A = this chain, B = another copy of it.
């Protein structure tokens, strides 16, 4: 009895059809996302080199133990820089190559934490001695801040660096178990050197707080750990995440380093042991801001990956009701599914572009900082803090949305999205724990509010920075929130204004009730303030589209950006409704709805429906190769069942017909049971 159709062959047919019905020019959107075709082509060349190199094969990775993944990761790293030599890649090319590797490599800590901190804060002498070695990875570094008992509160770190004027040395010491440096990426088995945060103790015992010190950890000849230091790996991470990174611990037992090893560009100690005050203490925040600003674009690309996999699978998976073609419907055709997935495309687009603007802002800030200009620092700090929370929270949720949209198969490791999630999850706690950052955003918002309303005469609207521009709404009593109608959701203005009003009213509310805060206020304010910053940026991005894309493509991207705004409004409904901002007229059609949010929800569903025929084209426009996605469910040709079948053949349990557990355990169990049954 032959089947009515072959669902496995149908996969490829469905995918080809979806691709052919896309009306956008995919390369145009792709080049737009990659900031030009030259950048895209460069990336494509590098991906091709890596993905065809046998060392970068991923087919066995999912079966590897953590130790094997660490060892493999080091081989990849060495090979990548070998390829850099062979192909004469620029440092930017090498960074690009590193960014397309989806293993959590320890070298990232050298590149993103150790080197920038060193470059920013080393004295000219230390810089000239080590900068070249660091840049060429002749030494490998890590950044030792967090301790076993101490995280975000740097002021409470226990590690000490005591200055010894007699020998012009610092003595680095871990006085307690809880002062053990912990979670330090690349420390466990890799790094030869590190920059360590320790509280500086001056002669006489005065503690002047945490400072940075450059220290050698392992021998450059044998890689053995240097005397009086205990180093190790802190063990596996939750969900098997970050497997290739050797997050490590270190204890120092009165280890002496020369005075020159203090990172003393902004603060130092005289030979006699007197503290030299830094000109601007905040200069040392630069490194953290750099990392956080990079997280916005990175989140966008990661959401793009999850969305690509889920949208491709939803295009070929058929399930449930029978559609007009007599087959079960493609799962993505169900509104309950695509209203969950299409907004991921929107957020990916927004975060990629927004993050790029932010990184450019950081570059301007860094240029200013190097000439002592700290005027933009506070604004950059609050923006990157709020955005870091927003994109990490959203990215984690979106990856899980993508995974769950794939039903049962989404729980297979071969789906690939689980690994993305496991590796991204710590983004909620690293580089500033999200709840702590929320508190900083709240404080900045209250400070801006008070500055505005306690100054006479009241400052001009033009004096407001972008991060507090929403406060203008409170400055003129004639301003009122927009009246909503179904038309409101067809353009960005109403959504942007609503999100700004929400921030203004919630900050006002918190300022009035600060004596008895409710416990959820911090998160709500932080989210509101950050979204009131992002929304006008998205409005500006919409304005600029016509200069960057042809009309048809610009219209599609505009819909994505608008969808971003509308889903943001939807996620803000509790606040908007609480503050009476959602003054919606009835939709009229169909009648008898009592739900004022209905028009918004229908507008979102409508946009998702309009974008649905472009979903495969938009996914393709992210430009991911099958090698990058490493997902049986996200294969470009749509043949997901064949891909799953091919992968299970590698499963170690399948290499013998009868499992080793049979003789040891299963057989005794069966025999016992048969004996018992016979007795009955």
Residues of the B chain whose Cβ atoms lie less than 8 Å from the Cβ of A354 = none
Residues A593 and B224 in contact, CB atoms below 8 Å apart: no
Give the number of copies in the complex: 2
> Known interface pairs A156-B328, A239-B239. Does A577 touch B579 (Cβ–Cβ under 8 Å)?
no
Known contacts A574-B597, A645-B177: does B590 contact A516 (CB below 8 Å)?
A: yes
Residues of B with C-beta under 8 A to A476: none
Q: A601: which B residues are within 8 A, CB to CB?
A: 518-520
Say yes or no: is A512 at the interface (Cβ < 8 Å to chain B).
Answer: yes
CB within 8 Å for A408 and B183 given contacts A596-B578, A651-B233: yes
Taken together as a complex, chains A and B put the C-alpha atoms of A201 and B579 apart, in Å, by 62
- A47-68, CB < 8 A from B: 62-63, 65-67
Q: Does A74 contact B (CB under 8 A)?
A: yes
User: Per a CB cutoff under 8 Å, which of B137, B421, B597, B653 touches A670?
Assistant: B137
A648 and B176 contacting across the interface, CB-CB below 8 Å: no
A530 within 8 Å of B (CB atoms): no
Q: CA separation between A78 and B680, bound complex, in Å?
A: 21
Contact residues in B for A319 (Cβ distance below 8 Å) = 150-153, 156
Bound-state Cα–Cα, A338 to B85, Å: 53
Question: Using Cβ atoms and an 8 Å threshold, which residues of chain B touch A408?
Answer: 146, 151, 183, 426, 429-430, 433
Question: Is A140 a contact of B666 with CB atoms below 8 Å?
Answer: yes
Check A238 against B672 for contact (C-beta < 8 Å): no
User: Please, how many angstroms separate the alpha-carbon atoms of A665 and B338 in the complex?
Assistant: 45
Q: Is A372 an interface residue (CB 8 A)?
A: no
Chain B's nearest CB lies how many Å from the CB of A384? 19
| Residues of chain B within 8 A of A201, CB atoms compared | 1
CA distance A366 to B605 in the complex (A): 42
A455 at the interface (CB under 8 A from B): no
What chain B residues lie within 8 Å of A523 (beta carbons)? Answer: 336
A522 at the interface (CB under 8 A from B): yes
Decide if A223 touches B189 in the complex (CB within 8 Å): no
Q: Does A75 contact B (CB under 8 A)?
A: yes
In the complex, per-residue mask of A119-149: 1 if CB is within 8 Å of any chain B CB, else 0: 0000000000000110111111000001011
Assuming the A-B contacts A77-B665, A176-B3, A319-B152, are A657 and B518 also in contact, with contact meaning beta carbons closer than 8 angstroms in the complex? Answer: no
Q: How far is the CA of A85 from the CA of B659 in the complex (A)?
A: 25
In angstroms, Cα B138 to Cα A666, docked, is 10
Is A492 located at the chain interface by the 8 A CB criterion?
Answer: no
A475 at the interface (CB under 8 A from B): no
Which residue of chain B is the closest to A5 with respect to CB atoms?
A: B176
Given A70-B659, A235-B62, check contact A578 B595 (CB 8 Å): yes
Min CB gap A475→B, angstroms: 17
B-side contacts of A645, CB under 8 Å: 148, 177, 180
| Residue A92 is within 8 A (CB to CB) of chain B in the complex | no
A594 surroundings in chain B (CB, below 8 A)? 505, 508-509, 579-580
Contacts of A436 in B (CB 8 A): 320
Residue of B nearest to A403 (CB): B238
Task: Tell me whether A1 and B175 are in contact (CB under 8 A).
Answer: yes
The smallest C-beta distance from A175 to any residue of chain B, in angstroms, reads: 5
In the bound complex, how far is the Cα of B649 from the Cα of A249, in angstroms? 11
CB of A241, distance to nearest CB on chain B (Å): 7
* Pairs of residues from A and B, 10 with the lowest C-beta to C-beta distance, nearest first: A238-B418, A138-B673, A577-B577, A138-B674, A74-B661, A240-B240, A335-B519, A74-B665, A137-B673, A136-B676
15 contacts between A and B (CB under 8 A): A1-B162, A74-B659, A74-B664, A78-B664, A136-B676, A138-B672, A148-B644, A192-B670, A234-B651, A235-B413, A235-B414, A238-B411, A408-B426, A516-B590, A577-B577
- Additional A-B contacts beyond A6-B176, A222-B658, A513-B590 (19; CB < 8 A): A70-B653, A70-B661, A74-B665, A132-B680, A137-B672, A140-B666, A177-B642, A223-B666, A232-B654, A236-B412, A236-B651, A237-B413, A241-B411, A335-B517, A336-B519, A508-B594, A509-B594, A512-B590, A580-B594
